[in-house]
Amino acid sequence: MPAPKLSGLAHLVIRVRDVDRSVSFYTDVLGLEVQEQFPGMAFLSAPGSTASHELGLMAIGTGAPAPDPLRVGLYHFAWQMDTIKQLEEFHLHLVDRRANIVGYGDHGASFGIYFTDPDGNEIEVFYELPRDQWPSGAGKFRSSFPLSINIQPVGRSTN
């Protein structure tokens, strides 16, 4: 019997050292809105979202070690922009907020900007072409993003 059809990813919960510090980051840098917060937990969503929350923040203490890129686990999570122009504007916003930009990714069907939150969790903000414009042949992830994008890279090189 095949698995029942999923309707989509509903939310992500990440561990953070300090919920208040993380809420400040996610509301200021990403523009998320707090849906509910209590000691040790916060639930946030993008403006206009109909979900109860899209991101959960769970405090595990100020002495918790940073994410380890050599261990199994989350690499990054991503938020999608509706237009290339919005992605370009978001990049300027990240620079203005002095966010820790760690890379840029040309994924053929999409282009992303990677940065970290105060705990070192990696986040991507990206624009993806409409499905009917995805590259063919080499594949949607192995091709070059076909549209021009006005972003002056800062931080490290592309992902």
Superfamily of domain 7-61: 2,3-Dihydroxybiphenyl 1,2-Dioxygenase, domain 1 (3.10.180.10)
Quick check: 96 pLDDT over 90? Answer: yes
Q: Looking at this protein, which amino acid is placed at residue 108?
A: G
Query: Does the predicted TM-score (pTM) go above 0.85?
Result: yes
> The domain 75-159: what is its CATH number?
3.10.180.10
Going by pLDDT thresholds of 50, 70 and 90, the confidence category of residue 156 is: low
Helix H or strand E segment including 84 = helix 84-96
Provide the pLDDT for residue 146: 82
Task: Show the tokens assigned to 73.
Answer: 């686990």
Which residues, other chains included, contact 83 with Cβ-Cβ below 8 Å and sequence gap of 6+? 127
Residue ranges of domains in the chain: 7-61, 75-159
CA distance 157 to 66: 22
Provide the pLDDT for residue 144: 84
- Tens digits of per-residue pLDDT, 98-135? 999 999 999 889 999 999 999 999 999 999 999 888 87
Is 25 in a helix, a strand, or coil? helix
Question: Could you give the C-alpha distances from 83 to 26, 53, 139, 151, in angstroms and in order?
Answer: 21, 23, 22, 14
